[in-house]
Amino acid sequence: MNIDIDKLSKRLAADTTISDYDFWRASKNINQTLYMIERYRLPIPIDVLRARNIIKQARKRRKGILQQK
């Protein structure tokens, strides 16, 4: 499965139906999931890392868009 992280993060950042709180909450949920996985010494799914990267980039892009206006 090939996911273009940059393309997806741009689409999410431009989506007005997703609030900044939604991005923040998604980021916190992913970090909590990673913490629990690490705590129980389980293998970390690559999809969780991709999701964290996509959300992180989308939040940065959203902040950049808001600061440019």
| pLDDT greater than 60 at residue 69 | no
pLDDT at residue number 65: 72
Is residue 54 exposed (0-12), middle (13-18) or buried (19+ Cβ within 10 Å)?
buried
Positive or negative: CA dihedral 47, 48, 54, 57:
negative
Kindly report, residue by residue over 16-64, the tens digit of the pLDDT.
Answer: 999 999 999 999 999 999 999 999 999 999 999 999 999 999 999 998 8
- For the chain, what percent of residues have pLDDT higher than 90? 86
pLDDT at residue number 24: 97
pLDDT at residue number 3: 72
